C-alpha cells in the first residue's frame, strides 16, 4: 500500500545488513562521544599568586609625556594553573628574594630616593614557594614552568650565579619562546651573552635544553588545555599563555599589557621591541578577547584584589572588565605608543 511503511517485501538478507550498519553507526558515534568526553582534559583551576608589589614612575613605565612624580602601582605575579596531578603548571615565578631585584631596579633608577624607600618591591604575601606551601603543594608537584618572558621580575633569580628558582622544581619542564631564545643566542659573541637575559640564567637554560628539561617553542601546546602564543612586543621572548578554565579560555598576556585601564585607553608600555610588534601584539590580544578569551595583564593589582574578593569566581568577575578593555583598545583612534629606547 502506498504510504505504508513496512519491512514486508524486504528480504531478511537485505534487512539485516542495514540494521546492523545502523547499530554499528550508533555504537561508533556513542564510542566517539564517550572517548571525547573521557579524553577532554579537566579545565585548569587558575590562581594568581601575588609575589611582590612596588610603585614605578609613570615615565619609566609609559614614557613621555608622563612624569616620574606620578607613580603606577605594579603587582608582580606568578600563576598556578592546577589541572590535577601531572598537570600542575606555574606561569612565571616572580621575584623569590628581594635584594637582587631591588638592587637591579635601583640601578635602573626605577625608585625615588626617599626616606622609607616607599617605591621598592615588598612581598606582603611572600614568594612563590610560600604560596605553594599555603596551597598544600610541594615544588615536586609542579610539572611545567612557562615563562611569559625572561625579565628579572618574572624569572625568580636571587643572584646572578645560576638558574635560580627553576632549579628548585625537580620535576618541572621549563618552556620559553624559541623566537626569543634565538634572538638571545644571536647576540652571543665568543661565549659571552650580550642581552637582557641574566647570563647565568641563560647558561642554565642552554644546558637545560641538552638535558631535556627546557623546551624552546612557539605557538604550540604545552599540554592539553594550555598553549603558548608568541607576541614579541614587550621583549623578543614575550608570549601569551592560553589556559582552558571553567570560566572559558583565559589568556595570560604577559607584559604586553600592564593594566586593564591602560589597555582600555590604548596606552602602550614604554618598553618594546619595535613599535610595529608592540601594536601587533596588542591587537592580537584584543582580538583574542573579542573572541571570548579573558585577558590577564601581568602587573595589574586588580587581579589579586578580585581573587581575594571573589575566590574561584575571580575570572568570571574579571570577564566584563577584560572585554571592556579590549573594546576600548580597538576603539582608541590613535594608539599612544611612546617614544622609547627599544628593548635590547
Shorter beta-carbon distance to Zn ion: residue 148 or 244? 148
The CA-based angle 295-301-305, given to 5 degrees, is 95
Q: Is residue 96 a contact partner of residue 162, using CB atoms and an 8 Å limit?
A: no
Q: By C-beta, is 128 or 223 nearer to Zn ion? A: 128
| Least Cβ distance, residue 207 to Zn ion (angstroms) | 25
User: Does the protein bind Zn ion through residue 256 (CB under 5 A)?
Assistant: no
Give whichever of 163 and 297 is closer to Zn ion, judged by the CB atom: 297
- Whole-number Å distance between alpha carbons of 322 and 320: 5
DSSP 129: H
Least separation in angstroms between CB 116 and Zn ion: 24
Nearer to Zn ion by Cβ, of 119 and 255: the residue is 255
Q: Does 183 bind Zn ion (CB under 5 A)?
A: no
C-alpha cell at 197: 637575559
CB 180 within 8 A of CB 149: yes
How far apart are alpha carbons 341 and 344 in whole angstroms? 8
Give 82 or 153: the residue with its C-beta nearer to Zn ion.
153
The site map against Zn ion for 112-151 (x = CB under 5 A) is ----------------------------------------
Number of residues counted as binding Zn ion (CB under 5 A): 2
Contact 338, 63 (CB under 8 A): yes
- Cα–Cα distances in angstroms (integers) from residue 251 to residues 134, 210, 218, 256, in the given order: 25, 30, 15, 11
- The residue within the footprint of Zn ion, chosen from 53, 119, 255, 264 (CB under 5 A), is 255
**Is 217 exposed, middle or buried, given 0-12, 13-18 or 19+ CB atoms closer than 10 A?**
middle
Tell whether residue 153 is a contact of Zn ion (CB under 5 A).
Answer: yes
> Stretches 31-39, 177-185, 249-257, 333-341: which one binds Zn ion (CB under 5 A)?
249-257
Closest approach of Zn ion to the CB of residue 74, in Å? 8
Q: Which positions touch Zn ion (CB under 5 A)?
A: 153, 255
Amino acid at each position: 500500500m502506498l504510504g505504508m511503511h513496512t519491512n514486508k517485501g524486504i528480504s531478511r538478507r537485505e534487512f539485516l545488513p542495514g540494521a546492523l550498519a545502523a547499530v554499528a553507526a550508533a555504537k561508533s558515534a556513542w564510542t566517539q562521544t564517550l572517548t571525547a568526553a573521557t579524553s577532554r582534559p579537566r579545565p585548569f583551576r587558575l590562581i594568581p599568586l601575588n609575589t611582590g608589589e612596588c610603585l614605578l614612575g609613570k615615565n619609566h613605565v609609559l614614557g613621555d609625556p608622563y612624569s616620574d612624580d606620578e607613580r603606577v602601582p605594579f603587582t608582580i605575579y606568578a600563576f598556578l594553573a592546577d589541572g590535577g596531578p601531572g598537570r600542575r603548571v606555574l606561569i612565571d615565578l616572580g621575584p623569590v628574594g628581594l635584594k637582587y631585584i631591588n638592587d637591579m631596579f635601583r640601578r635602573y633608577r626605577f625608585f625615588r630616593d626617599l626616606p622609607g624607600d616607599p617605591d621598592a618591591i615588598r612581598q606582603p604575601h611572600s614568594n612563590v614557594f610560600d604560596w605553594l606551601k599555603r596551597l598544600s603543594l610541594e615544588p615536586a608537584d609542579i610539572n611545567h614552568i612557562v615563562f611569559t618572558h625572561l625579565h628579572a621580575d618574572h624569572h625568580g633569580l636571587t643572584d646572578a650565579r645560576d638558574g635560580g628558582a627553576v632549579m628548585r622544581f625537580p620535576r618541572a619542564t621549563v618552556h620559553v619562546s624559541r623566537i626569543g631564545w634565538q634572538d638571545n643566542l644571536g647576540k652571543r659573541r665568543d661565549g659571552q651573552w650580550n642581552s637582557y637575559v641574566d647570563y647565568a640564567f641563560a647558561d642554565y637554560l642552554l644546558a637545560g635544553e641538552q638535558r631535556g628539561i627546557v623546551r624552546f617553542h612557539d605557538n604550540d601546546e604545552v599540554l592539553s588545555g594550555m598553549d603558548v602564543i608568541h607576541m614579541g612586543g614587550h621583549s623578543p621572548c614575550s608570549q601569551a599563555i592560553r589556559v582552558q578554565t571553567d570560566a572559558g579560555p583565559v589568556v595570560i598576556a604577559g607584559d604586553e599589557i600592564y593594566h586593564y585601564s591602560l589597555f582600555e585607553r590604548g596606552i602602550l608600555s614604554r618598553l618594546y621591541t619595535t613599535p610595529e610588534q608592540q601594536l601587533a601584539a596588542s591587537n592580537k590580544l584584543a582580538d583574542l578577547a573579542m573572541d571570548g578569551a579573558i585577558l590577564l595583564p601581568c602587573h595589574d593589582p586588580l587581579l589579586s584584589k578580585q581573587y581575594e574578593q571573589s575566590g574561584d569566581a575571580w575570572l568570571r568577575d574579571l570577564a566584563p572588565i577584560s572585554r571592556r578593555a579590549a573594546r576600548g583598545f580597538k576603539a582608541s583612534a590613535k594608539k599612544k605608543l611612546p617614544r622609547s629606547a627599544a628593548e635590547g
